[in-house]
Amino acid sequence: MSTVQIVRLDPTSKKDLERFVDIAWHVFPIKENKQWVPPLRLSVLENLDVKKNPFYKRATIELFVAVQNGKDVGRIAAITNRAHEEFHDEKIGFYGFYEAINDIAVSKALFRAVAETLQAKGYSEFRGPMNPSTNHECGLLVRGQSQHPTIMTTWNPLYYLEHHEQLGLEKDKDTVAYFLPTDKKMSLPKKVFDYSEKLKADGNFRFRDFDLKNFDRDVEICYDIYNSAWEKNWGFFPMTREEFQFMAKEMKMVLDPRFAFIAEKDGKPAGFMLGLPDFNHIFKRIPNGKLLPTGIFKILLGKRMLKTVRIITLGVKQEYRGTGIFALFTAESFLRAQQSKLIGGEASWILEDNVEMNRPWVELGAPLYRRWRIFKAPVARFLS
């Protein structure tokens, strides 16, 4: 068995960041991992950029690469998140951006690097994967490897789960995904639409598209709803306005107002739904993950051909919960999907124990077809 060397990278170095990002292509040869969708390199780099990404004003990240026989064979990040610690009154570290070849020695060395780093900073426990937080991509795919991974969701081979379990990481929380067909063969029960129309009339609810011409204004509306709607969710911590705006600008290129809309009651914002066309079908045709010279044209030309969406976010202000507004969103999103001739949509990541959000999909008969897991472990486990 070859020795595994761990190399610490400089997160402020462009060269080191590019090396860290490149490892995904070493771990996932496309011919051997046909479901894997190469990420846009620019997007991953922005997520890691400690100078530009406002997330790192309240967080730190240390990057590590595993080297074996002179080749980069794995990577991981050790993360501290002061915003999470203060909001939850919980001192815990995190790991993220984990990728590794199928060699348990590589994974063990990577987690030891995280444990040593966090212990030196006074942490006794860590959780993950977070890329780099619950407000970003997170979780290890533990079910649904054969399914197409939708936009902004993680995919990994099953041996990742085996490595986590062999190394003693334990389940902390699962999130799930449902898929609902929206073609002509499928329709919501008539009573859902009748109930929705009654609520609109009695409650004076209406929906409007996200206005790209007034992008900053509508981002501000969604920011206000977001921090109100998710306050009690497991793992949530409030984003700053600057962080929210940064993420919104990153999504603007793939935003379609037909699937991003705001609910208003008596003219005041009550909630919003963000669904993104599944650009992963296009990103898969950009195997090197680079926008230039041809990637950007594939995105622009392919946008109108996309026939599925991923519902990323559905948020309702606390004062409007219990009004039936979730039924309104369900009916509205289904109608919009059919009018746009979509064939279906995914709702994810839904906390496995969030009864209020799981029940509608179960009642509609939507299959739970993918599952992700957040793990936790004591730092000491990896230091003996």
Tell me: cis bond preceding 287? Omega within 30 of 0 counts.
Answer: no
Per-residue pLDDT, averaged over 288-299, amounts to 82
Contacts of 88 (CB under 8 A, 6+ apart): 237
Q: Of the candidates 189, 268, 257, 191, which has an alpha carbon nearest to the alpha carbon of residue 228?
A: 268
237 dihedral zone (left: phi>0; alpha: psi -120 to 50; beta): beta
Which residues, listed in sequence order, are joined to residue 77 by a DSSP beta bridge? 63, 96
Is there a contact between 79 and 130 (Cβ–Cβ < 8 Å)? Answer: yes
pLDDT at 292: 78
Evaluate if residue 87 carries a pLDDT over 70: yes
Q: Which of 241-245, 306-310, 364-368, 369-373 bottoms out in mean pLDDT, i.e. has the lowest?
A: 364-368
Per-residue pLDDT, averaged over 271-287, amounts to 93
pLDDT at 10: 97
The whole-angstrom separation of Cα 353 and Cα 198 is 30
Report DSSP letters for 301-346, one per residue. Answer: HHGGG--EEEEEEEEE-GGGTTTTHHHHHHHHHHHHHHHTT--EEE
pLDDT at 317: 87
CA atoms within 13 A on the CB side of 219: 20
Evaluate if residue 219 carries a pLDDT over 90: yes
Is there a contact between 95 and 130 (Cβ–Cβ < 8 Å)? Answer: yes
Q: Which of 56-65, 128-137, 303-312, 318-327 bottoms out in mean pLDDT, i.e. has the lowest?
A: 318-327
pLDDT at 181: 87
Per-residue pLDDT, averaged over 129-145, amounts to 96
Comparing 192 with 343, which gets the higher pLDDT? 343
Per-residue pLDDT, averaged over 191-213, amounts to 83
The whole-angstrom separation of Cα 376 and Cα 384 is 17
The whole-angstrom separation of Cα 83 and Cα 59 is 8
Q: Using a pLDDT cut of 70, give the percent of the chain over it.
A: 98
Which range of 107-121, 217-231, 273-287, 348-362 scores highest in mean pLDDT? It is 107-121
Per-residue pLDDT, averaged over 96-111, amounts to 98
Evaluate if residue 218 carries a pLDDT over 90: yes
Evaluate if residue 1 carries a pLDDT over 60: no
Structure tokens at 38: 């190469």
Domains, the chain, ordered by start: 4-174+373-382 (3.40.630.30), 180-372 (3.40.630.30)
Q: Which of 62-76, 90-104, 164-178, 283-297 bottoms out in mean pLDDT, i.e. has the lowest?
A: 283-297
- DSSP-derived 3-state class of residue 287: coil
Per-residue pLDDT, averaged over 18-32, amounts to 92
Indicate the DSSP class of residue 233.
Answer: S
Q: How confident is the model at residue 147 (pLDDT cuts 50, 70, 90)?
A: very high
Evaluate if residue 188 carries a pLDDT over 90: no
Q: What share of the chain is helix, strand, coil (3-state, %, to 5)?
A: 40, 30, 30
pLDDT at 266: 87
Q: Which of 128-137, 177-186, 244-253 bottoms out in mean pLDDT, i.e. has the lowest?
A: 177-186
pLDDT at 98: 98
Q: How confident is the model at residue 184 (pLDDT cuts 50, 70, 90)?
A: low
pLDDT at 186: 61
Amino acid identity at 91: K
Report DSSP letters for 72-98, one per residue. Answer: EEEEEEEEEEHHHHHHHT---EEEEEE
Evaluate if residue 170 carries a pLDDT over 80: yes
H-helix segments, the chain: 14-27, 41-48, 82-88, 104-120, 159-166, 190-203, 215-229, 241-251, 280-283, 295-302, 325-339, 355-363
Per-residue pLDDT, averaged over 10-19, amounts to 97
The whole-angstrom separation of Cα 358 and Cα 56 is 33
Per-residue pLDDT, averaged over 115-129, amounts to 98
Mean pLDDT of the chain: 91
pTM of the model: 0.93
Amino acid identity at 100: A
Per-residue pLDDT, averaged over 6-31, amounts to 94
